[in-house]
Amino acid sequence: MSRDDLVRVDGVVTGLLGGGSYSVDLLNGNRIVARRSGRLRKFHIRIMPGDSVTVGVSPYDVSHGLIVTRR
């Protein structure tokens, strides 16, 4: 599944988890575990708790996501 097939949802990073994962509260009230996309890792974009992010969520597994952009 490519990055274009993901459903994009806005959220706020609430915490850092081990292994490069982040806890993200989505605007619809759900909490998911998300990782940074390859482009964010490539350009060393730092994500801290409290940052607003856009998360790409697979329609098949809504408990995991990919942080696509930081706003």
- What per-residue confidence (pLDDT) applies to 53? 98
C-alpha distances (whole Å) from 70 to each of 24, 60, 61 are 12, 24, 22
First to last CA, the chain: 24
CATH of the domain at 21: 2.40.50.140
Confidence tier at 50 by pLDDT (50, 70, 90): very high
| pTM over 0.85, yes/no | yes
Q: Domain count of the chain?
A: 1
Beta bridge partners of 66: 35, 56
- What per-residue confidence (pLDDT) applies to 5? 85
Closest C-alpha to 63, from 32, 25, 24, 30: 32
Range of the domain at 51: 3-70
pLDDT reading at 3 higher than 90: no
pLDDT reading at 1 higher than 70: no
Q: What are the helix (H) ranges across 1-71? A: 38-42
